[in-house]
């Protein structure tokens, strides 16, 4: 099947938009939940996709039991924005520790060593917005 340039010009925008995030409500009760059998940490992937300009973002929600960390301190290329909904979390970024209470927001820059721990006596729930950058 031969496709003309004109036909391709109509198809190209649709193909490029295929991975773009749509305007959508992500109902919490409909998000698949993964529970770690050992730690009982719950996570829900909300979305992952591209914006109009190809910039990739992702969002997930974690419910962290008291006294636990979701994983060991680490660093990565993407930036993250940490939104605390409930509980008390300590986040350490490049050796500096901040205590987050409900409603607090922590920005974590690219390639900075960071980690989090629930230092409260109730489960903490937080949202992470990952800013992954341009798709390669």
Q: How confident is the model at residue 135 (pLDDT cuts 50, 70, 90)?
A: confident
- 28, 47, 58, 35: which is closest to 123 by C-alpha? 35
3-state secondary structure at position 114: strand
Residue with the larger pLDDT of the pair 131 and 2: 131
| 86, β-bridge pairs | 125
For domain 5-134, say whether CATH 3.40.50.720 is its number. Answer: no
Average pLDDT, the chain: 91
Q: Where are the domains of the chain?
A: 5-134
* CB-side neighbour CA atoms (13 Å) of 1: 3
Residue with the larger pLDDT of the pair 135 and 96: 96
Cβ–Cβ < 8 Å for 58, 132: yes
pTM of the predicted protein model: 0.84
Mean pLDDT of 113-120: 98
Element (H, E) at 9: helix 5-17
Of 11-25, 31-45, 85-99, the one with minimum mean pLDDT is 11-25
Mean pLDDT of 88-98: 98
Q: Give 27-62 pLDDT, tens digit per residue.
A: 999 999 999 999 999 999 999 999 999 999 999 999
**DSSP symbol at 83:** E
Measured distance CA(114)–CA(112) in Å, rounded: 6
- Predicted confidence at residue 14, as pLDDT, reads 47
């Amino acid at each position: 099947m031969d496709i003309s340039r004109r036909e391709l010009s109509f198809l190209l925008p649709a193909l490029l938009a295929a991975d773009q995030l749509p305007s959508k409500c992500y109902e919490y009760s409909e998000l698949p939940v993964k529970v770690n059998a050992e730690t009982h940490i719950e996570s829900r992937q909300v979305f992952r996709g591209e914006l109009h300009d190809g910039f990739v973002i992702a969002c997930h929600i974690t419910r962290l039991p008291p006294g636990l960390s979701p994983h060991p301190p680490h660093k990565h290329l993407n930036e993250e924005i940490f939104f605390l909904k409930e509980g008390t979390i300590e986040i350490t970024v490049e050796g500096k520790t901040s205590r987050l209470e409900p409603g607090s927001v922590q920005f974590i820059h690219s390639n900075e060593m960071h980690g989090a721990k629930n230092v409260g006596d109730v489960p903490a729930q937080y949202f992470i917005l990952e800013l992954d950058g341009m798709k390669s």
